[in-house]
């Protein structure tokens, strides 16, 4: 029997009854009301999007947001190091820091050297963010052409892949959700034909452009 993939989700605190939650480690101090916080909401949507494409996936929650969606580079680096030492095959980061950091780059390198797939969200516009901009990271932005089970090969200067950004008006959407859907697709591929095979078959190739008939390939 193929073992269900384990994904290290570096995000807000996940509730104990989160479907697929294997374990949770709080890297930061958690606010007493964190269960109703933006961080908890964000993390729950990321976990759900991952499992939408990989229902059997297990999640290792690594909490870096105490309640609000803000943290320090030291906490992020520690979470990445713990992910590198874990049994997770995929490490997921739906957040970004505006400036490159040697501390963050070193922690990312540890994850990649450990043989993990590291997925991180990247904005559709503007300068690179990190860890998405670090070497070896699978960077993902929202692509309106994609449904939840699709992905695109963009190969843009600041991002490599695209995936479903969610529905308009949803509580959480955009690059964060797109990266989570993509991590789920990777997890499903790990138990199917393999990641390399998956990455040869994008639903769309080239950047998205919006014309009179809606989003199209450029």
What was the pLDDT predicted at 213?
43
Q: Judge residue 29's burial from the number of C-beta atoms within 10 Å of its C-beta, 0-12 exposed, 13-18 middle, 19 or more buried.
A: exposed
Q: Judge residue 53's burial from the number of C-beta atoms within 10 Å of its C-beta, 0-12 exposed, 13-18 middle, 19 or more buried.
A: buried
Convert the pLDDT of each residue in 151-200 to its tens digit. Answer: 999 999 999 999 999 987 778 889 999 999 999 999 999 988 899 999 99
pTM: 0.93
List the domains of the chain with CATH numbers.
6-217 (3.40.50.200)
Convert the pLDDT of each residue in 55-77 to its tens digit. Answer: 999 999 999 999 989 999 999 99
Compare 94 and 218 and report the one with higher pLDDT. 94
Q: Name residue, tokens 């030291």.
A: 74
Both tokens of residue 199?
């990455």
Q: Is 140 a residue whose pLDDT tops 60?
A: yes
Task: Supply φ then ψ for residue 13, to 5 degrees.
Answer: -75, 125
Q: Under a CB-based contact definition with an 8 Å cutoff, are residues 151 and 162 in contact? A: yes
């Amino acid at each position: 029997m193929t073992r269900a993939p384990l994904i290290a989700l570096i995000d807000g605190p996940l509730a104990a009854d989160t479907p697929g939650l294997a374990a949770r480690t709080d890297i930061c101090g958690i606010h007493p009301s964190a269960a109703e916080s933006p961080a908890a909401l964000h993390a729950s949507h990321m976990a759900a999007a991952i499992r939408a494409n990989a229902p059997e996936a297990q999640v290792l929650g690594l909490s870096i947001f105490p309640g609000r969606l803000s943290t320090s580079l030291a906490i992020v680096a520690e979470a990445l190091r713990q992910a590198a030492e874990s049994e997770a095959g995929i490490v997921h980061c739906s957040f970004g820091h505006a400036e490159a950091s040697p501390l963050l780059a070193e922690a990312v390198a540890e994850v990649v050297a450990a043989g993990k797939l590291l997925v991180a969200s990247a904005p559709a516009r503007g300068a690179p963010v990190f860890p998405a901009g670090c070497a070896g990271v699978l960077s993902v932005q929202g692509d309106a052409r994609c449904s939840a089970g699709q992905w695109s090969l963009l190969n843009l200067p600041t991002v490599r892949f695209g995936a479903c950004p969610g529905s308009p008006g949803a509580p959480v959407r955009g690059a964060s959700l797109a990266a989570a859907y993509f991590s789920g697709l990777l997890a499903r591929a790990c138990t199917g034909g393999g990641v390399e095979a998956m990455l040869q078959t994008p639903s769309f190739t080239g950047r998205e452009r919006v014309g009179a008939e809606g989003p199209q390939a450029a």
